[in-house]
Amino acid sequence: MSKLGSLGARLHRGEISYDFIGHRKIWYGISILITITAIVGLAVRGLNMGIDFQGGAVFTTAKNGSISVSQAQTAAEEASGHEAVVQKLGDGSVRIQIAGMDTKQSDTVKEELAKDFKVNPESIAADLVGPSWGDQIANKAWQGLAIFMVLVVIYLAIAFEWRMAIAALIALIHDITITVGIYALVGFEVTPGTVIGLLTILGYSLYDTVVVFDSLKEQTKDLTKQTRFTYSEIANRSINGTLVRSINTTVVALLPVAGLLFIGGGFLGAGTLNDISLSLFVGLAAGAYSSIFIATPLVADLKELEPQVKALRKRVLAKRAQSPADEENTPSYGYDSGPDEDPEDDVETAVVGPRTQPASRGRGRGRPSGKRR
């Protein structure tokens, strides 16, 4: 941990760095490939919508440890003719979800299940869910997403600038697309818990991005008054300075979510935990990636299109071409505290040896106490 802290301090001071901005085309290519894969998976396989969105019936048996999940699934699919989702509850009862059923069909299926399970039909609870309720949830989710996006763009445009707002918006769309595509490829059921998870990751995805943007804003004050560094180099310094912090916060957030996904969902078979934990896990990972490899490089590309920033780049490169020996001692993507300062002013003068006080001239000479009379 001490080595990681030392590494983070050196990254923050600019002593070492990795060229994230210089390799941005690689990150763009990786993101495009993942996004295309997610879109293709969504188009080919589609989302496995739960009964909350499609409508259907939910059957819950009484406590009966003799009914297995495979037995219940086979019986439900044969009785209904539809695919059934079966979950074993903690008290020994079985929960069966069958989409696309009306009231008459549910009564028939209930009687067939009672015969197969050899129980009284009254011991099986049947609940019908209409598709209209799922439509309302979906509409509210889309409305919440649209409002969130608009507010994010307005806030970032006011607090930072419109280029950062656009970059953050693209990063959010990138994260949502990947998360939804993973759901389609994995085949997890989409429930209201999934919608909650998708809306939750938007804030986490934006957090790391805003941290980098705030550092970038502070380091680019009076940018055009200096000729040592380009905007892209300072943007790279901002990423490196907040890199360890972003990794730490992401790992800390992913650990409990991974526990929900792999332990709660995998070993305990809790379907509701799967619904929300998968969206959180994928969204958090994608958000950390996009804040480092997508959002800030996009801001650098947009800023480099400005005439003033273009002129700054030309001046910086021209100065380096004229005095290459001076640039050899410049830290990679470092940035001095003041843009008007000369590089030589950064060198601190150390005092070596004991300090000698100036001798007093004739003061208190010949008097033990040294006081004037």
The domain over range 56-129 is classified in CATH as 3.30.70.3400: yes
Question: What's residue 162's pLDDT?
Answer: 92
CA of 48: how far to CAs of 54, 131, 194, in Å? 10, 14, 11
pLDDT for the residue numbered 331: 45
CATH of 2-49+133-308, one of 2.60.40.3880, 3.20.20.70, 1.10.468.10, 1.20.1640.10: 1.20.1640.10
Looking at the chain, list the stretches that DSSP marks H as alpha helix, in order from N- to C-terminal side.
2-13, 24-44, 51-54, 69-80, 103-117, 131-159, 162-186, 192-219, 231-258, 271-290, 296-303, 307-322, 324-327
Q: Which two tokens stand for residue 199?
A: 């809306």
Q: Give residue 272's pLDDT.
A: 61
Of the candidates 88, 97, 36, which has an alpha carbon nearest to the alpha carbon of residue 67?
Answer: 88
**CA–CA distance, 225 with 219 (Å, rounded to integer):** 13
CB neighbour class for 114 (10 Å; exposed up to 12, middle 13-18, buried from 19)? middle
Region(s) of the chain under CATH 1.20.1640.10: 2-49+133-308
Half-sphere exposure of 152 (CA within 13 A, CB side): 25
Q: What residue spans in the chain does CATH classification 3.30.70.3400 cover?
A: 56-129
CA dist 230 and 327 (Å) reads 13
Model pTM?
0.72
pLDDT of residue 5: 59
What is the pLDDT at residue 208? 82
Residue 60 in 3-state DSSP? strand
In angstroms, rounded to a whole number, what is the distance separating the alpha carbons of residues 117 and 112?
9
DSSP, collapsed to helix, strand or coil, labels residue 330 as: coil
Determine the pLDDT at residue 362.
Answer: 47
Phi, psi of 272 (to 5 degrees): -65, -40
Burial track 84-111 (b if 16+ CB lie within 10 A, e otherwise): bbbbbeeeebbbbbbbebeeebbeebbe
Phi/psi at 300 (5° precision): -60, -40
Among residues 99, 109, 104, the alpha carbon closest in space to that of 129 is found at: 99
pLDDT of 8: 61
Token pair listed for 288: 């950390």
> Containing H/E element for 128?
strand 125-129
Pairing of strands 48-49, 189-190: parallel
pLDDT (tens, 9 = 90+) of the chain, 373 residues, equals: 556 557 666 666 657 778 899 999 999 999 999 999 999 988 998 888 877 777 788 888 877 666 777 888 888 888 887 778 787 776 677 888 887 776 677 888 888 888 888 888 888 888 877 767 767 777 887 888 888 889 988 998 998 989 999 999 999 999 999 989 988 888 877 887 788 888 888 887 788 888 889 888 888 888 888 888 899 999 998 888 888 888 888 888 888 888 877 776 555 555 566 778 888 888 888 888 998 999 999 999 999 999 998 999 999 898 888 876 555 444 444 333 333 434 333 333 333 334 444 444 444 454 554 444 4
Instruction: Give the residue from 175, 179, 174 showing the smallest Cα distance to 190.
Output: 179
Task: DSSP letter for 292, please.
Answer: I
